Chain A
C-alpha cells in the first residue's frame, strides 16, 4: 500500500488508482476519465479482509462486495449484508470493492448511503502517513472525497450498532446491473416501543447520499405509530433533492423515497426486535 501511495505521488495528476474497476473502467471507455497511468491495487496482499475487533467490523479496502455478501461476520449487521448482496449483479460484486465504492463517491453508489447510518470511519493512507476520517467528512460532493491526490483508502471501520438496534437498506432498481432510481437506509435503536435513536440516509436523490436529519428527529424519542411514521416520511421526502433524468422525474423519485423509507423503517423495527427478515431490492 505504501508503495502504491509513493507511485501515486510520483506519477502526479495523470494517475488513478484501480481497485475493482467496475466504475472506473466503464468511465474510461466513455472517456469521462482518461488517466495516463493506473496504479492497480489488486495484487497487493492483505488488503481484502473482514475483521471483528474493538466492537467494530473492519473491512480491507479491497474487500469485494461478494465477500461481504457471504461473510457471517458482516451478516451480524444486517444492513451491511443488505447493501453487499444488492449491489449490481454477481459479476460486479465479484470484482467491486467497498473501498473503491467509497473513494469514487458516486451519488448513486450504495455503500456511502448505508454506512452513513452507522458509525463509520475511513482509514486513509498517504505519503505523510495515515489518518482516520469519519465518513460524513470523507464524502465532500459528487465524485469528491477528502482524499488527497497521494492518498488512498486502506480500510473501512464500522462500529457495531448497539443492542436493540436494527436496520434495513432498500433500493428501487430498473434491473440488477444499473444504479438504483432511489434508495433508503434506516438504522433504528428501540427501547421497547420507543425509538431511542434513528439514522436515515437517502441514496441517488442528491449530489451525495443525504442524511435526512429532520426525518430522524421525527422518530427520535417517539413511539413508532402512524402519526410519527407519516411525519418521518414527509420529512424524508422533503430532504430528497432529486434530479429528473432517464430513471424518472424528480416528483416520481421523491414519492419513491417516501415508500422506501416506510418499508425500510418497518423492516428495521422487526430486526431491532430480533426477527430475521430477508431483504431484497425492489425491481420495476
Chain B
C-alpha cells in the first residue's frame, strides 16, 4: 500500500449543509461521516455489507455507507440520522421508534430509521410485507423486529398528510 496517497477534492451536502473537503480515495463514506464530519450517529456494525447499521440516504436512496468510497459521494446529497430532527422536533420516524419501543440497545436504530425513511417517502401506506422487505438489510440483535414493524407502521400513520 502506498505510504501517502494524493487526496481528492470533493463537495457534498450532508443533512442540508454543503461541505468541501479533500479525502484519500480509499476512505469509505462512513469514515468521512464519522471521522471527518463528526457525525457519529451512523454506525459501523459488521463492515461487511451485511448488517445495515451504516445505512444513510444518498440522493434519497438507502445505501450502506461502509460499502462506498467517500469520493463516490462527490456532488451527492446525504442524509444521516442527525438530519432527521428538525428545529428541535424529532422526526415522526424517530418518535415512533421511541413510542413503540422499536429499539433496545440502539446500535442498529439509525440505519433502520433511514431505511424506513426511504420506504415511507416512496410508499405512504406500506403493508407489513413491504415493511419487512424494506428493512431486510438491517440487522437487529435485540428486539426480534416486532416492535420495529410496529414503529414503522405508527410512523406511516403519523406521517399521513405530511
> Is the pair A22, B49 in contact by a Cβ cutoff of 8 Å?
yes
Q: Which residues of B contact A90 (CB under 8 A)?
A: 62, 115, 118, 133-134, 136-137
Q: Is B143 an interface residue (CB 8 A)?
A: no
Q: Which residues of A contact B72 (CB under 8 A)?
A: 21, 40, 42
Number of interface residues of B (CB under 8 A): 29
B contacts, CB < 8 Å to A: 1-2, 25, 28, 47-52, 55, 61-64, 67-69, 71-72, 74, 115, 118, 133-134, 136-139
Contact of B63 among A26, A43, A94 (CB under 8 A): A94
* Residues A21 and B68 in contact in the complex (CB < 8 Å), given A88-B137, A90-B133, A91-B55: yes
Q: Is A29 an interface residue (CB 8 A)?
A: yes
Number of interface residues of A (CB under 8 A): 25
Q: Which residues of B contact A21 (CB under 8 A)?
A: 67-69, 72
Instruction: Write the nearest CB–CB distance from A175 to chain B, whole angstroms.
Output: 8
Among B2, B48, B49, B137, the one with the most A-chain Cβ atoms within 10 Å of its Cβ is B49
**Complexed CA–CA distance, A232 and B109 (Å):** 47
A to B CB contacts below 8 Å, 13 in the list:
A21-B67, A22-B67, A25-B49, A25-B67, A36-B2, A40-B72, A88-B137, A89-B136, A90-B118, A90-B134, A91-B115, A94-B63, A175-B136
A24's nearest neighbour on chain B, judged by CB, is B67
> Is the pair A66, B61 in contact by a Cβ cutoff of 8 Å?
yes
B2's nearest neighbour on chain A, judged by CB, is A36
